[in-house]
Amino acid sequence: MKRNERIDRVELMRTFVRIVEAGSLSAAARQLSTTQATISRRLQSLETLLGVRLLLRTTHTTRLTDDGERCYQHARRVIDSWLALEDEVGQTEDEPVGVLRVRAPHAFGQDQLLQPLTAFLQRYPQLSVEWMLNDKSVDFLGDNLDCAIRVGAEVDPATVSVLLAEVPRSVVASPELLERFPAIKTPDDLQALPWIAISTFYQHHVELFTGGSTSPARIATTPRLSTDSLYVARNTALTGLGVAVVSSWTVKEDIQAGRLVHILPEWQPAALPVHLVYPWSRYYPARLRRFLEMMRQVMPEIAGMRKPEK
């Protein structure tokens, strides 16, 4: 009976931690795949066991009491220790188990990263991955994520961020578009052309760098189309709609086949950094540690990537 009580109490603490980190009982219920009524009962049971009020709830807000804040800090340590125990006891060679929830950018996530991801899952048969594609900012607690692959994004100092690789970029346009304008001889000549903007990286100007120059050439752009999709930018550039700055790997074959022209190749946009980002914790399960090791190894070797420049 005592063992069951301890298991129940661990579950109550897990639920309480999830309520706090998810921001509400309803969000915690969704993340734990249960009902809000069950979450509410678990919270009440924990408050009864401890003899204190942990949360103050109104129609619109939920906030911790002072006792609730202390309980959360202790519960977080207990859960981390319990996760370590579950992760390590009975496992050989620290083999990862359970579910790893990863967010990746659409372009990488449905193309270049699938092969190493598949190999990773085949190597660890007791591991499952939820592979979610989204280019927006990451809310680890609200979205219940373990880690995210971020391209070009600013690093949040509240998280752990590991630089994995860089993505070179190219300025491209279709031959048909270029035929309608005077020859492009300098970066300034690009200002006369219509543009396709990738809103997450550039909208009204681009900066190009050349070897030996300390300052970039800043080019004002007039977008005909703004998109958050790398594939949309590449595909509309193929139609002749405008000039685009895209990840070089997406247009390598188009340039070789003559469908797109690499404009002023001696002038390059800055490469985009690729980070693996995850929230700080006292304990990281084997599934996250092994995934980080894999990403550090394979990312610089993926076609179109390169090792970060020192």
Pairing between β-strand 98-104 and β-strand 62-64 as defined by DSSP bridges:
unpaired
What pLDDT was estimated at residue 92? Answer: 52
Q: Which residues neighbour 126 within 8 Å (Cβ) at sequence distance 6 or greater?
A: 95, 96, 97, 98
Structure tokens at 8: 């129940």
- With CA atoms as reference, report the closest residue to 295 among 102, 91, 83, 84: 102
Extended beta strands in 105-146, E state: 127-133
Label residue 166 by pLDDT band (50, 70, 90): very high
Q: What is the pLDDT of residues 230-279, one digit of tens each?
A: 999 999 999 999 999 999 999 999 999 999 999 999 999 999 999 999 98
E-strand spans in the chain? Answer: 55-57, 62-64, 98-104, 127-133, 147-151, 159-167, 169-173, 195-198, 205-209, 217-220, 223-227, 244-247, 261-262, 268-269, 272-279
The Cα-based distances of 65 to 68, 115, 142, 202, 224 in angstroms read: 5, 48, 21, 44, 53
Closest CA to 258 of 148, 174, 152, 201: 174
Specify the pLDDT at position 1.
36
pLDDT tens by residue, 84-130: 676 666 555 567 888 899 999 888 888 888 999 999 999 998 889 99
C-beta neighbour count of 203 within 10 angstroms: 13
Task: For the chain, give the mean pLDDT.
Answer: 86
- The Cα–Cα gap between 97 and 129 comes to 10
Out of 39-43, 80-84, 161-165, 277-281, which region has the weakest mean confidence (pLDDT)? Answer: 80-84
Written as six digits, the tokens of 306 are 């390169």
pLDDT (0 to 100) of residue 111: 83
